[in-house]
Amino acid sequence: MLSVDGLTKRFSGLVAVDDASLAAPEGRITGLIGPNGAGKTTLFAMAAGFLTPDAGTVTFAGEDVTAEPPHLRARRGMARTFQIVQPFAGLTVRENIAVGAHLHHPSRAEAMERADAIGKRVGLAKDLDRAAAGLTVAGRKRLELARALATQPKLLLLDEVLAGLNPSEIRDILPVIRAIRDEGVTILMIEHIMQAVMNLCEHVYVLAQGKMIAEGPPIEVSRDPQVVEAYLGHGAAARMQAAGGADA
Ligand SMILES: Nc1ncnc2c1ncn2[C@@H]1O[C@H](COP(=O)(O)OP(=O)(O)OP(=O)(O)O)[C@@H](O)[C@H]1O
């Protein structure tokens, strides 16, 4: 569904992403992990068209979209969530979701109807008439998912949707993400919570200092000495091993 090949992005002297390639196959949940500052968000921004790469290509559904702006990629069926969730504060939850639905449903009534259906899908049925600003962190994460889903994506780029949630909130949202995949949406997710990566992803890529250093099933990647090395000092290697031993 998505492949990025040889992507490079420099910010003045710093090479944030260095000749990185990955593929997110149709109907799968693919993970992108790596220590803080590895370049994950920069890679996502290039995939979605918010940043122009210095080198490399982005291919979506068989078409080279490297030079296309984000709104045209959205029309093709690419949606992303953002690390910092910023709902339109003056609007209700339903209206917030409807903003995404307007991409394919120009009529307000249709967009609102669609927003209702998607709100229910992500577990926000009871909150649809509430002010979005009053949602809890977990509610905002669901809203972020709903707003992206409202654009009827073929590919969903999730940037740390689980960050800031407690373990029981994470447990509750994992089936929502799986259900989205089961309905045919391809997912590429940046995630720091290793338990979730182990649970959700069939395949993960590991970025460290801008370079793709490993890829494979999460359990294998977590045992890769290069990956453990990249995470040393971040405490994540131990967490990955622990998560690998847990019940999926
Ligand atoms: N607009 C920018 N201008 C200059 N440097 C930037 C810019 N955006 C990112 N960087 C730098 O590029 C590197 C990669 O950042 P990026 O946010 O992509 O990493 P990340 O893997 O997403 O990190 P995190 O897990 O902390 O979100 C970092 O060193 C960061 O400081």
Question: Could you read off the pLDDT of 108-117 as tens digits, one per residue?
Answer: 888 899 999 9
- Neighbour order of strands in the sheet with 63-64: 14-24, 2-11, 55-60, 63-64
**Cα dihedral: 152, 44, 95, 87 (round 10):** 160
Out of 141-145, 223-227, 228-232, the most confident range is 141-145
What pLDDT band is residue 203 in, cutting at 50, 70 and 90? very high
Which residue, by CA, sits nearest to atom 16 of ligand 1?
39
Specify whether the CB–CB gap between 66 and 72 falls below 8 A.
no
In the chain, pLDDT over 70 holds for what percent of residues?
A: 92
Q: Phi and psi dihedrals of 212, rounded to 5?
A: -80, 110
Provide the pLDDT confidence category of residue 174 given band limits of 50, 70 and 90. Answer: very high
Q: Which of 8, 9, 15, 41 to mutate to test the pocket of ligand 1 (most atoms within 8 A of CB)?
A: 41
Buried b (16+ CB within 10 A) or exposed e, 204-215: bbbbbbbbbbbb
For a pocket test of ligand 1, which of 40, 50, 212 has the largest count of ligand atoms closer than 8 A to its C-beta?
40
8-43, pLDDT tens digit by residue? 999 998 999 999 999 999 999 999 999 889 999 999
* DSSP H/E element including 108: helix 108-121
CA distances from 95 to 37, 112, 135, 143 (A): 34, 7, 14, 11
pLDDT for the residue numbered 239 = 64
